[in-house]
Structure 1
């Protein structure tokens, strides 16, 4: 079984290169979507490294916008069209890092073959703070003067939105590890349901809802495991998770997760060095 790691990146070439190196093994291949705003000349290793594919037709990604969904979809498309026989697709950001060796990741997924790992909390009765994302109109994905004023009046004048195609919304974290069959289903579903695409283009942070919702309302529901296999610390109460340091090493080591986020190699290189050492020691 081969694993496709799809990495969404926009900055920090040295950190991205180190992440790719930590993931690579005989059964892994990295696909990288680099934000169109990033200078490709700063990432030469994406063009000449074995085991790495740069996703073509890059998207200009905006925070909270549908553009990050589009970047992910293009990555999924590149993986399924590659001709390589993948069993799993693992979605990462450039600020993530593995807590296990490539062989450890492979062995875990081989033992759990057919399962899909992601966070999926029902929006209407569990993740209720996400309801306004769906019930209101959001123009985050669009760029024109006065868009937030327009958004305000649209929401005053128009009735609340309702989910398309009879979908029951679920979600939380966008990072997930899916079977390639589930990824193909997502691509085919979106192709067949343009009304779902239109709906999520007017949703804030749709990347945290759209893929989970599609699979939850599909024959794949019985394969879902409500665990995204990531160690993420939200204890700071900020819009983004805590940047992990050496003081987090023990919690990461005992978390039972395969990956962690987020890291900053420029500010806190020691924690990544220690993770590399632990992984190497466990392999010996």
Structure 2
């Protein structure tokens, strides 16, 4: 089972290098999208590391903006353009880390071949706080003086937005593990439906909705598993998840997930070392 790990990174070269090392396998390739703001000279290992591909045409990614969707799509396209027959495309951030060995991860996807793993729930029925993302106009993806004042008046004067193309919106976490066929479908769908692309460019945090919505409203719906295989701690109730530490080890391990996020090697370096030991012990049992 060949896996393309698509990693969206913007900083922390040492941590990114460690993440790639933790997932190395003869059937693993790494497609890295480096934020357009990052200095590529601080990531020299991306140039000459085996089976590592730097995604071309880097995007300057803004938080909550469509630019992160664009970065992901360029990564998807780089995977497809490689011509390699991947079983899965596994979307990660540079702040993620595996909870199992590469062999266990590859075995899992081989056993579940054809399933698409993503977290999704109905925006209208379950995730209602996300409704304004779709009904209001958001200029997050654009930079010009007074944009928030313009956004305010646009929302006062124009009618509420409606989902295009008859789509039923679902979503939640942007991190997912998809079959190559599903990735191809997403790329072809957006190429053929510019109105959908235009709609999501005016949506706040569209990366948490667009891919799930496209697949949920497609022939791939029956292949969806409502599990993104990631341990993520939102207990602090903030816009970003908790940075995981050694005190979280038992919880993340007991979750049975394949990956966890997010980690900060400079702030809490010991937790990754402990994870490595735990993974090694588990692998050789």
Same fold (TM over 0.5): yes
3-state SS of paired residue (1:86):
coil
Alignment of 1:1-284 (within 5 A): 1-284=1-284
1:73-131 CA distances to partner (integer Å, 9 max, x unpaired)?
A: 00000000101110000000000000011111011111111000001100001000000
Partner Cα separation in structure 2 for residue 51 and residue 274 of structure 1: 27
Q: What displacement does 1:260 show?
A: 0.1
Give ranges in structure 1 of 5+ residues lacking alignment: none
3-state SS of paired residue (1:186):
helix
1:20-64 CA distances to partner (integer Å, 9 max, x unpaired)?
A: 100111111110000010000000001110011000010000000
Partner Cα separation in structure 2 for residue 283 and residue 156 of structure 1: 58
The TM-score, its normalising length taken from structure 2, stands at 0.99
1:119-174 CA distances to partner (integer Å, 9 max, x unpaired)?
A: 11000010000000000000000010000000000000000000000000000000
Partner Cα separation in structure 2 for residue 100 and residue 78 of structure 1: 26
Partner Cα separation in structure 2 for residue 24 and residue 62 of structure 1: 29
The TM-score, its normalising length taken from structure 1, stands at 0.99
3-state SS of paired residue (2:244):
coil
3-state SS of paired residue (1:117):
strand
Partner Cα separation in structure 2 for residue 23 and residue 52 of structure 1: 12
Partner Cα separation in structure 2 for residue 214 and residue 239 of structure 1: 24
**What number of residue pairs does the alignment pair up?**
284
Partner Cα separation in structure 1 for residue 196 and residue 24 of structure 2: 35
3-state SS of paired residue (1:137):
coil
Q: What displacement does 1:283 show?
A: 2.2
Residues 24 and 51 of structure 1 are in contact (CA less than 8 Å); yes or no, is this contact kept in structure 2?
A: no
Give ranges in structure 2 of 5+ residues lacking alignment: none
Task: Tell me how large the CA RMSD over aligned residues is.
Answer: 0.5
Partner Cα separation in structure 2 for residue 210 and residue 181 of structure 1: 17
Partner Cα separation in structure 1 for residue 230 and residue 283 of structure 2: 21
Q: What displacement does 1:279 show?
A: 1.2
3-state SS of paired residue (1:159):
coil
Runs (4+) of structure 1 exceeding 6 A deviation are: none
